[in-house]
Structure 1
Amino acid sequence: MTQTPTETVAEPTVPGRTRWGVFLAILAVPTLVVAALIALLVAWLFTDDSVAADVKKTSCSEALAFGGAKLPEGADDAWCGIEAGPEPRYEALFRMPRAEVGAWVAASFPEGPRLRTTQCGDTQVDACLNAGPVAGERASVQIDITHDSRKWSEVRFVAFTL
């Protein structure tokens, strides 16, 4: 018997073989990639975000005393830390009344140097001071002062050994 062009021929059915295995193998790769990205995101969220991992918070009296100074009476928002290493490096950040900055620096370093408003390195800094070991202290000191407003100044105090 001959087939006419409009007739359909039924395909023979073979039991057992499907294409689900190939489909699942193709789907497994993107699923594993997404799971790995989620695991990396969770690990990133729960790790320490500090820039310097060796910086530990310390008392401000210890940090400033290392450089021969004391925290001023009107200080606000103080944060102090120590960077571990072969030689300690203390850093203090605080705000204080702008009018009292000069008197605090003069009381902390009576033998000099004085604050200067030029050659401070950073254009954002309004006044600075670099002092070698002074007043029998073993540390060098860098102070950067940025005036936030007419009343307040932000002070960055760094004391380190050479």
Structure 2
Amino acid sequence: MRRRFRWLIGTTATAAVVAPLAYVGYGLYSWDGRPVGVDCSKVMAFAGGSMPVQATGARCTSDNVPQEEGYTAEFRMPREDLAARLTAAFPRVRQGTGSATGLSFGNTHEANGPHPDGQAAELRLEAGYDSEGAALVRLRAFNS
């Protein structure tokens, strides 16, 4: 009887140690580190904003990095009133630099302070102009 009891305890203890290690090992083995496509509504919620009116061709990805949440969204929109429409769509960002080639926005004032629960600690928004009167907008939302 004691022999069976020892065997049962030894098997259970081994399984309790090996199973989590195998799970973590499989996760690391199967992780390829490439960005993964995600629904843009998830990215907008994480960024604390919404897709701007007249945005087209939206493409959203997750960084696919363990233990850190990070997303990228890219879309096109008309240049007309671009700064005003982007700050309306993403109220947590403030306009930074502007040039003949585009605009830059950020929320660096929040980077080390509190931010809304479940939302990104840092936001970066860049808009580059093209020759057709449109802008390519790139949003980065992540926790550092």
TM-score, structure 1 as length reference:
0.56
Higher helix proportion, which one?
Answer: 2
Distance 1:99 1:78, change over 3 A: same
Q: Deviations over 1:102-158 (max 9, x none)?
A: 12222134465224216xxxxx95211121448624431011110113531000000
- Aligned partners of 2:90 and 2:81: how far apart in 1? 14
Among residues 49, 52, 55, which one is paired with 1:69 in the alignment? Answer: 49
- Aligned partners of 1:75 and 1:146: how far apart in 2? 14
Alignment size in residue pairs: 106
AA at the equivalent of 1:82: S
Q: Which residue of 1 aligns with 2:123?
A: 141
Instruction: Tell me the secondary structure at the aligned position of residue 68 of structure 2.
Output: coil
Distance 1:57 1:112, change over 3 A: closer
Whether 2:103 is the aligned partner of 1:127: answer yes
Distance 1:100 1:159, change over 3 A: same
- Aligned partners of 1:135 and 1:109: how far apart in 2? 14
Q: Which residue of 1 aligns with 2:62?
A: 82
Higher strand proportion, which one?
Answer: 2
Unaligned segments of structure 1, at least 5 residues:
1-51, 119-123
Q: Which residue of 1 aligns with 2:85?
A: 104
- Aligned partners of 2:139 and 2:92: how far apart in 1? 18
- Aligned partners of 1:157 and 1:58: how far apart in 2? 14
Q: Which residue of 1 aligns with 2:39?
A: 59
More deviation, 149-158/131-140: 131-140
Calculate percent identity across the aligned residue pairs: 26
Whether 2:75 is the aligned partner of 1:94: answer yes
- Aligned partners of 2:57 and 2:74: how far apart in 1? 8
Which entry has the higher C-alpha Rg, 1 or 2? 1
Distance 1:90 1:156, change over 3 A: same
Among residues 152, 156, 161, which one is paired with 2:134 in the alignment? Answer: 152
Distance 1:115 1:61, change over 3 A: farther
Q: Deviations over 1:66-87 (max 9, x none)?
A: 1111111201111000011211
Q: Which residue of 2 aligns with 1:42?
A: none
Instruction: Tell me the secondary structure at the aligned position of residue 146 of structure 1.
Output: strand
Distance 1:155 1:83, change over 3 A: same
AA at the equivalent of 1:93: E
Q: Deviations over 1:34-69 (max 9, x none)?
A: xxxxxxxxxxxxxxxxxx843110111111221111
Distance 1:67 1:112, change over 3 A: closer
